[in-house]
Structure 1
Amino acid sequence: MYEALVNKDASYEGIFIVGVKTTGIFCRPTCNARKPKPENVEYFADIKQALSFGYRPCKVCHPTRPYGESPDWLKGLLEELSQSGQQKFKDQDLRQRGLDPVRVRRWFKKHHGMTFQAYSRALRINRAFGLIKHDDKVIDTALDSGYESLSGFNHAFRKLTGAAPSASKRSNVVTVTRILTPLGPMFAGATEQGICLLEFTDRRMLETQITRLSKLLRARFVPGQHPLFVKLSLQLKEYFAGKRTKFSVPLDIPGTDFQQRVWQALMEIPCGETRSYQQQALTIGNPDAVRAVAKANGDNRISIIIPCHRVIGKNGKLTGYGGGLWRKQRLLDIESGRLKTSSE
């Protein structure tokens, strides 16, 4: 495949996407940009997979567009996404551009295997966290990322994290990475104290959680490796294989006293069992705080380890879960022994 990349072999269009580790960019096989060294590339089956691994699209070859001519009715929106991946588009925004949200959704589903909203959300996150690489100067990273000046780069990074990329070295640091699981990739964050973030990458509230966490910890986010990620990955693998019911990785979970009580109560629910919000309110000694308990559950930033998926409705039915109800059911099935998966 590397030979095809170097030769810009068009016959490989649609066969693979290449990710460049040193820049965080993914390209099509026929890209005209300077070719990276073989050890600095990895290959993906499609764009969705490349996005899941944290890569963002190349501005030279535009890999998010189908090979050949893209439909005229979509060109304007694709160009907007290419130029500014930080904007959030609602259905009304699409209508104002003369686009039918349903038609846009179907096109992205067909060509990228994900909805337009999921795609644009992944772009925003990947662009924010793919901007900084270890030991790089901010100005070098900005130029490598396609920015003509620091101002645009700083704005893009601050837009999501709430902190400038050139923050003082005395600032707290949250090291972030992606961990693959049988239910989809997860976004993990760690401080010196412990794991502070573990969410599925397609969770709708992920950006909000990241922004809140940045402010709570007064931290900047930097992609990279952390000793705790090895332990976390291993324990998640054991969990999905049905071989682990408790986690021992240290956690760093800033929050109010009430939130801390709710999260602690969640961790006391035995694996394989469920509780209602009413029961959880009773557990923390505040039976009238059912709605507040539900909100604190939703504010949980550590999926699986702090098992908010074990809380269900009073009638026994599944209720809202940030990672999606289908994942909630799968997690409960794994814990009850009805389903075993493998992370390999």
Structure 2
Amino acid sequence: MLFRRPDDDHLYEALVARDAALDGFVYAGVTTTGVFCRLTCPARKPKREHVVFYDTVAQCFEAGLRPCKRCRPLAAAGAADPLVEDLLARLDARPERRWYEADIVRLGHDPSTVRRAFNRRFGISFLEMARLRRVGLAVETLSGGASVIEAQQEAGFASGSGFRDAVTRLLGEAPAGMRGRPLLRADWIETPIGTMVAIADDHALHILEFLERTALPAEIRKLRKATGSAIALGRSAPIEQIAAELDAYFTGRSARFETRLAGHGTPFERDVWRVLRAIPPGETRSYTGIAHALDRPDAARAAARANGTNQIAIVIPCHRVLSADGSLTGYGGGLWRKRWLLEHEKLKFSRTGASHEPE
């Protein structure tokens, strides 16, 4: 949790009162009905002994609960927060600006509220995001061949040592090492089941993962080493395209993904990923079935390993692979997300005949 949670008795009082102050921070699971709700849910309130409180949507799913149809807690998790949207718009308008808590106060916002809102949605505070945006501008300047001092000044860093420390923490190396190097862009994409991170160059998508995936930092380090590129916050054309395609996917309008993907992986891994992309939404396969599709019936374990190395979530649908007995098996984004994606596709796409394979 990103704040000190009240005890369960106080949370139950908040549930009964439909108190919006903690809405989105805590979820109420109802053991008698098997659903979980927002604290502001308008449904009839269960007895205290039938309520268990959870910090995240993930915990609710892992407890075997399903989202309430009255208060729609998943939709609430992905809903736009006016406070967040206002500050993001200001940051987009002037990404080079240095932000302080006093600036937030002058806008009429409580800094602790802003901090919680941004941490809940992005995993970092607004001030940290603003700092990273300024570092990203600096990296872009460095990748164009500018000197370190020019990049430092453009990013608004008064201290040379502070600038070097900031870039090093973000990129894993000193600013001088960024000069003249190719540039990758990284940005967040909001979805109903959590924030995703997209990394792309000007031509293709390299990474699309859920923010909580434990392997993400290692994937970024591997990508940086393989491409020799610097990574800065911002959007390129492939990120804009995949964001639009994900929106169509989550709203049930289309399961078609045409964003160009970078050619990472071994030849065998790419063959496995090609077979995965051919699985229609609403259907599943086993690792043995993947191996047979490759005419390599003895390669089920190798197919499972290739499935696990996939770093383009949803587009390369490794969530459509189950164990031989039909049960859910490991998924980097969490088993609750895998269950959600399979149910979403079965509901939205398996009967509509939606086109899913790239041309």
Q: Counterpart of 2:256 in structure 1: which amino acid? A: K
Q: Counterpart of 2:165 in structure 1: which amino acid? A: G
Quickly say closer, same or farther: Cα 1:261–1:146, change in 2 above 3 A. Answer: farther
Quickly say closer, same or farther: Cα 1:246–1:326, change in 2 above 3 A. Answer: same
The partner residue of 1:144 within 154, 157, 161 is 157
User: Offset at 1:316?
Assistant: 0.4
Matched, 1:217 2:227: yes
8 Å Cα contact 1:147/1:153 also seen in 2: no
Please give the alpha-carbon distance, in whole angstroms, between the structure 2 residues aligned to 1:24 and 1:274: 48
User: Offset at 1:25?
Assistant: 8.1
The partner residue of 2:204 within 175, 190, 194 is 194
The partner residue of 2:264 within 248, 254, 269 is 254
2:136 corresponds to? 132
1:239 corresponds to? 249
8 Å Cα contact 2:98/2:131 also seen in 1: no
User: Offset at 1:132?
Assistant: 2.1
Unaligned runs of 5+ in 2: 1-20, 24-82, 142-149, 351-359
User: Offset at 1:290?
Assistant: 2.0
8 Å Cα contact 2:213/2:332 also seen in 1: yes
Please give the alpha-carbon distance, in whole angstroms, between the structure 2 residues aligned to 1:339 and 1:215: 38
8 Å Cα contact 2:99/2:130 also seen in 1: no
Q: Counterpart of 2:320 in structure 1: which amino acid? A: R
8 Å Cα contact 2:329/2:335 also seen in 1: yes
Q: Counterpart of 1:269 in structure 2: which amino acid? A: I
Q: Counterpart of 1:303 in structure 2: which amino acid? A: A
SS at match of 2:252: coil
1:156 corresponds to? 169
Unaligned runs of 5+ in 1: 1-12, 59-122
Identity of aligned residues (%): 30
Please give the alpha-carbon distance, in whole angstroms, between the structure 1 residues aligned to 2:296 and 2:185: 36
Please give the alpha-carbon distance, in whole angstroms, between the structure 1 residues aligned to 2:214 and 2:158: 25
User: Offset at 1:289?
Assistant: 2.2
SS at match of 1:334: helix
2:10 corresponds to? none
The partner residue of 2:279 within 269, 276, 284 is 269
User: Offset at 1:126?
Assistant: 9.6
Q: Normalising by structure 2, what TM-score?
A: 0.60
Q: Tell which deviates more after alignment, 182-191 or 127-136.
A: 127-136
User: Offset at 1:225?
Assistant: 2.2
Please give the alpha-carbon distance, in whole angstroms, between the structure 2 residues aligned to 1:292 and 1:139: 47
Deviations 1:157-195 (A, max 9, x none): 343xxx544445642221111111111111111113311
From the CA coordinates, give the structure whose radius of gyration is larger: 2
SS at match of 2:280: coil
Quickly say closer, same or farther: Cα 1:257–1:144, change in 2 above 3 A. Answer: same
How large is the RMSD of aligned CA atoms in angstroms? Answer: 3.8
User: Offset at 1:291?
Assistant: 2.1
2:301 corresponds to? 291
The partner residue of 1:226 within 233, 236, 242 is 236
Please give the alpha-carbon distance, in whole angstroms, between the structure 1 residues aligned to 2:209 and 2:185: 14
User: Offset at 1:275?
Assistant: 0.5
Q: Counterpart of 1:318 in structure 2: which amino acid? A: L
8 Å Cα contact 1:24/1:55 also seen in 2: no
Q: Counterpart of 2:340 in structure 1: which amino acid? A: R
Deviations 1:262-297 (A, max 9, x none): 111111111111001111122222222222211211
| Bigger proportion of residues as helix | 2
Quickly say closer, same or farther: Cα 1:49–1:251, change in 2 above 3 A. Answer: farther
Aligned residues: 254
1:330 corresponds to? 340
Quickly say closer, same or farther: Cα 1:204–1:129, change in 2 above 3 A. Answer: farther
Please give the alpha-carbon distance, in whole angstroms, between the structure 1 residues aligned to 2:134 and 2:302: 35
Quickly say closer, same or farther: Cα 1:25–1:274, change in 2 above 3 A. Answer: farther
8 Å Cα contact 2:193/2:337 also seen in 1: yes
8 Å Cα contact 2:132/2:233 also seen in 1: no
User: Offset at 1:130?
Assistant: 6.6
Matched, 1:316 2:300: no
